[in-house]
Structure 1
Amino acid sequence: MTSARDQIDQIVHENDIVLFMKGTELFPQCGFSSRAVSILEHLGAEFKTVDVLQDPEIRQGVKEYSDWPTIPQLYVKGEFVGGSDIMMEMFESGELKQLVGAPAAS
């Protein structure tokens, strides 16, 4: 059986953009997760979500994996980006759009 850390590592490296969140893309279970999904959708980014409420080991494991205490957590191309507040700051500055390779507005 693989450890939670191995599962997280595999998910992070097999997907260009991953959001570990509470709930699902269609039904976020907290305001921070909802805001994170909205930001990524606004950018037109294709991303995978992982509902940490479905697996307590993943929920705790992702915090240890990133050394970041809160959820949601965004990973882009295998690198930890940050949580909801950092995503919002990067969105507002235009950094997040560049990082996720979002299509240019026409």
Structure 2
Amino acid sequence: RVAAQALLAEIAAAETHLSSLRSAADANNAAAAEVRAETAACEDATRRLVEANRVATEELDALRAQLRALEAEDDFISAELRQLSHTTALLTQAAAAGSDG
């Protein structure tokens, strides 16, 4: 009879411990679900950032191409202005020479 009571006490202690382990497992499962949800949100945010970075890079490349085109146009205009300035100087000299003689 004493052995049976001791065995029942051990069973009760084991059931209490098992219940505690189940509660801990439930808490761990809830925490794991929360971490999975946060991970999914972070992965989604990362995908959006990667896409935004890709778009920004494309826009930057387009702006750089525009800048190169504008610089080339500026170089062309500068060369034309130098040529025009040279031609104007020659015409001014010719006009001065013509009025002298």
TM-score, shorter chain, exceeding 0.5:
no
TM-score, normalised with respect to structure 1? 0.17
RCO comparison, higher one (Cα < 8 Å, 6+) = 1
TM-score, normalised with respect to structure 2? 0.18
More helix by share: 2
More strand by share: 1
